Chains A and B, each alone.
Chain A
């Protein structure tokens, strides 16, 4: 497919995760930084090599849990003790033990929803268009092939040298990723 637009990067296709991991390591040693690996399943070693630690997610989930739990507890206190005090047999209005089940449920709900939405936001999803989709064979990245894309935004990037470098890693093929 000839799109004739700007170049987004160069992409190499590999057969197995081991070759991709070694390619990523070699590229790191060579000094490339702006690159991304695409795999049909999670390969922890590659994420680590590329410096993705997923550190934000636990913090977001924790915040969601605290927000949901404290919000739920506050709501019940406000409803039962302030907004609509209802005397049942002289029992205390602020009967906190009976507020615990809902507080717990809302803690879990808050944490789960924040976690899910946080994951999507950090991954910039939903994102219907991305230049890598212009490579026809990229569809295999969700099936059985492993891709490494070095982006033009990398200071070391040069169309010829980066291509020569990728060819040296013995990939199946190297593609130009266009961004029209």
Chain B
């Protein structure tokens, strides 16, 4: 059905795969990254640097457990600080992966195929980084299991009416479902790696991971059905996860938090920052591994468009926050909004405006959407802008409570920066390992996109 409508719409756009590829060239090119190509020096250097930051994270965590969360700058009234800003930022980054893999699959956006695997990996690693922060912020992280309902000698249950407990369920479900979706999607490609492995060790590992996949038509039918259903399940899940995260704030009565716009605002912000992160990662990877045939200009341009669209929603949210602060007639709300723009943390607010409101406007122009340096630079600015947004929401709102006697200032300590940069190191290190040891692009789905893969029903 799609083959008939394709020519009319595809004429001007760059193709999803560069013409001239066959089933074998796709398989060769993608599996070579894992199996036969020598590990590039740049990989070793990149992984090495990231690994140093992982060690920094380990050191921070050890120190934190040994001394306590006092080593972070958190203090009443700002008890949440970096940790929660990092958590929200990381979770948001994860959302683009699920959006690309699930929502675009349901909408038959075929261009998603070459970036979905790697975007899903990004989701998993981002959620893993996100999960670290609330756990460490517990103060006594070794009691984290108290958050889960299990039969215990204290005869206690978690408080299921609390958004913080909802958050535990939302994040754990999100992580589990993302993992399942990612792994199920990878099984046919793991079988390809098994069949192409040149040494016994690789053959055994990929053999175990692919579970004996044979690619029989029964396998494929069940696989495709469940993959589609998982995509359908992941779609509302994405929306629900950041909604629940926003409830952590919106259910509290703090000025600047207690607002009904938070759920859609957070979800749009998540997709916005997530797509920026996909751009930040895809641009270097495609040039280092020469994947320009598969991750084409069309992909980058489309992502630029999504960044623009979600950036506009985020901009609308900032405007509506300001408007409702004024319109509500609530003096605390009004003061909070003015303090946000002109108070002690106003520099953060204006960084946020530059990153999240002004930067995406570049993508109105096709020439800029197709310029790699512009895309890359803009994606970095958006990443920074979104982190500052979370910082402003968490810190600025808390530091001016209702009573001036409860006001205070917050500043991140060395350990705060160590934990943030360490988590970025962990994320990057995991991505390096993923690219080196697992198929970063779905080979099975790429083959399906080739014209040779089309079959015609004959009246045989």
Contact = CB atoms under 8 A, between A and B. Distances in A.
How many residues of A sit at the interface, in one of the four size bands? 35 or more
B169 A47 contact: no
Contact of B176 (A16, A112, A128): A112
B374 to A, nearest CB: 36
Contact of A80 (B157, B173, B240): B157
A84 B155 contact: yes
B206 to A, nearest CB: 11
Q: Is the interface of A mostly helix, strand, loop or mixed?
A: helix
A150 interface: no
B445 interface: yes
A143 B184 CA distance: 18
Contacts of A139: 195-196
Interface in A125-172: 125-130, 132-133, 139-144
B135 to A, nearest CB: 18
A99 B163 CA distance: 10
Interface residues of B, number: 69
A12 interface: no
Interface string B169-180: 110010011001
A113 B180 contact: yes
Nearest to A61: B229
Contacts of B196: 139, 143
Nearest to B448: A41
Given A101-B169, A101-B244, A58 B221 contact: no
Contacts, number: 207
Nearest 9 interchain pairs by C-beta: A144-B23, A139-B195, A126-B211, A54-B225, A79-B157, A127-B212, A119-B226, A42-B220, A52-B221
Nearest to B28: A143
Nearest to B155: A84
Interface of A: 16-18, 21-22, 25-26, 36-47, 50, 52-54, 56-58, 61, 75-76, 79-80, 83-84, 86, 95, 98-99, 101-102, 104-106, 108-109, 111-113, 115-116, 118-120, 122-123, 125-130, 132-133, 139-144
Contacts of B188: 40-41, 142
Given A109-B176, A122-B222, 20 more contacts: A21-B455, A22-B460, A39-B217, A40-B23, A40-B444, A41-B445, A41-B448, A42-B224, A57-B222, A61-B226, A101-B247, A105-B240, A109-B177, A119-B184, A125-B187, A128-B208, A141-B215, A142-B191, A142-B192, A142-B213
